[in-house]
Amino acid sequence: MAHPHTPLELPEEVRAALARQPRLEPRPLLVAAVRARVAPVAARRSRRLHRAMFRLVDALLDGELPEGARMALEGHAAHCAECACVLERARAGREVLRGVGRLSVSREQALRVRLAAGPGEGRKPSRLPGLVAATASVALLLGLGARWLAAPVPETPASPAPLIAAVDEAPQSPPAGLEPPAERELAAAPAAKPAARAVPVARARRSAGRRSAPETTRPDAAPPSLDSARGSAVLVVATQPPPATNASATPAHAPAGPTATIGRIDAGPITM
Amino acid sequence: MDLGLAAQARPLRMSPLMETRSLADAAAMGDADAFERLVREHHARVLNVAYRMLNDEDDAADVCQDVFVKAFRALPRLRDRSQFSSWVLKITANCARDYLRRRRRRAETPLEDEVVPTVDERHSDSAATQDSDRIVQRLLMGLPEKHRIVIVLRDIEDMSYEEIAQTLACTVSSVKNRLHRARRVFRDRLTPYLGEGGL
């Protein structure tokens, strides 16, 4: 039985022979009976395909359906406007999704660089540069501060009396046995000039006063303890060579070496 | 004799699956060059899947990096290394899902799932920008995650049903169902743009 929608192709001689035959009149009752049996089947099949089109349109476009089902659905869509619309919308949506762009290559190259950096390093920046910079800054500040404290300053004629008085009130020497080695070395060395000794004391006192130690700048301040003097002496020794080795420059009234050293750092504990 | 030597000297061409397997085997033994080749072959796909899932290039790059770090660490435990591609995409889907959850918890961005663009947005979008890619991405972000990943893997990455099922650790029937629902919702929301001729 030929498909109802495909025209019957017959050779020319067969058509001529059929034309010569007397035409049979169809029996109306028979035709009606056949139509009554065939039409519901065709309608059911059409409805089934119609429902299946909504369900299988994705599989149809993906090529996942067998050949018979694919032909049946496409044949149905050729005659059903609604199914043709569904198929067309599905094709359009598929084309839209397939046509979306991809990320640019620069992103991929950036990713490659980040992957080359190793796991976990892409997000956290290294702390090493910051630590190096902070350490260098601290070292520079310490060096500059120590140089500023120990730098020889031109002689000033008159120093404030309270400051010199504070120097004079400094302990002459620490108790025996508690004297640090640096102080022992400085004690053996000749003392520096008095004027050159007094000005650094004032400078140290001023700097100590700026460092919020007002009681240390008072003229009647108590003499520094051995601990504070020792700690400051270590700082001076570490940043400055022993003060003077020229014995001829030492005046007669200059105090002994340890007093000069402690007087220089008499401004109180220099905290770091 | 010469012909035999020439045949021996000619390098053997392996199928992509065998090549992936041999590279994955070498990478599992600690060969960094082999893993780098695997990354070069797969990172574009991983990046795009992550981008379609997250809708943010930077987040996608982060997820992509996490995916390959996890893959490098877990590669010795992978039994069938010929399935490296689907395995990496599975990690991608999981990572993207975790990233979305974290993002939702932090509430950095408004919740985009299950959000359907309004009519005004549609009209302003199509009238103002006509950027089809952005519209598609917005429509994708309006799908639930499990539907979005299926439609991305099938329609954008062109994977088969079996590969998607393997990637998502589900059955082929489940993939078909999810894909059908996802496409239906996507088509319904895409229709206004198609009607205006915007895409």
Has the ipTM of the complex gone over 0.90? no
Model confidence over B19-51: pLDDT tens digits?
A: 888 888 888 888 888 898 889 888 888 999 999
Rg (Cα) of chain B, in Å, rounded? 20
- To the nearest whole Å, the CA of A88 is away from the closest chain B CA by 11
d(CA A177, CA A132): 41
Q: How many CB atoms lie within 10 A of CB A235?
A: 19
d(CA B178, CA B93): 15
Quickly state the pLDDT bin for B127 (edges 50, 70, 90).
Answer: very low
Structure tokens at A57: 């349109």
Cβ–Cβ contact B130 with A under 8 A: no
pLDDT at A26: 67
Contact B133 A101 (CB under 8 A): yes
In chain A, what residues touch B180 (CB-CB under 8 Å)?
55, 58
Contact B191 A110 (CB under 8 A): no
pLDDT at B95: 92
Q: Quickly list H helices, chain A.
A: 12-20, 28-62, 67-79, 81-98, 105-116, 128-150, 161-168, 181-188, 194-210, 226-239, 257-264
Pairwise pLDDT comparison (B146 vs B126), residue with the higher score: B146
Contact B133 A94 (CB under 8 A): no
In chain A, what residues touch B65 (CB-CB under 8 Å)?
111, 114-115, 122
pLDDT at B167: 87
Residue from B64, B72, B75, B134 to probe the interface with A (highest A Cβ count within 10 Å): B64
Quickly state the pLDDT bin for B92 (edges 50, 70, 90).
Answer: very high
Q: Mapping DSSP to helix (H, G, I), strand (E, B) and coil, where does residue A212 land?
A: coil
Q: Which residue of A has its CA nearest to B151?
A: A97
- To the nearest whole Å, the CA of B189 is away from the closest chain A CA by 10
In chain B, what residues touch A122 (CB-CB under 8 Å)?
65
Q: Name the residue type at position B142.
A: G
d(CA A164, CA A154): 17
d(CA A214, CA B180): 83
Cβ–Cβ contact A157 with B under 8 A: no
* Residue written as token pair 């996490």: B66
Pairwise pLDDT comparison (B58 vs A181), residue with the higher score: B58
Pairwise pLDDT comparison (A48 vs B64), residue with the higher score: B64
pLDDT at residue B18 greater than cutoff 90: no
Cα of first residue to Cα of last residue in chain A, in angstroms, is 108
* Residue written as token pair 């979306």: A100
pLDDT at B123: 45
Cβ–Cβ contact A97 with B under 8 A: yes
- To the nearest whole Å, the CA of B193 is away from the closest chain A CA by 11
In chain A, what residues touch B40 (CB-CB under 8 Å)?
112
Model confidence over B142-199: pLDDT tens digits?
A: 999 889 999 999 888 888 888 899 888 899 999 988 998 999 899 888 888 876 555 6
Rg (Cα) of chain A, in Å, rounded? 54
Contact between B28 and B78 under an 8 Å Cβ cutoff? The reply is yes
Contact B186 A93 (CB under 8 A): yes
pLDDT at B22: 86
Share of chain B above pLDDT 70, in %: 78
Residue B168, burial from CB neighbour count under 10 angstroms (0-12, 13-18, 19+) = buried
- To the nearest whole Å, the CA of A73 is away from the closest chain B CA by 17
pTM confidence score? 0.50
Average pLDDT over residues B116-120: 42
In chain B, what residues touch A93 (CB-CB under 8 Å)?
183, 186-187, 190
In chain B, what residues touch A92 (CB-CB under 8 Å)?
190, 194, 199
- To the nearest whole Å, the CA of A106 is away from the closest chain B CA by 11
Contact between B80 and B20 under an 8 Å Cβ cutoff? The reply is no
Average pLDDT over residues B114-123: 43
pLDDT at A15: 79
Contact B190 A92 (CB under 8 A): yes
Q: Which mean pLDDT values do the consecutive 10-residue runs of chain A (272 residues) have?
A: 61 80 72 77 78 82 86 86 87 84 56 49 59 88 86 60 46 46 45 43 46 42 41 37 42 42 41 45
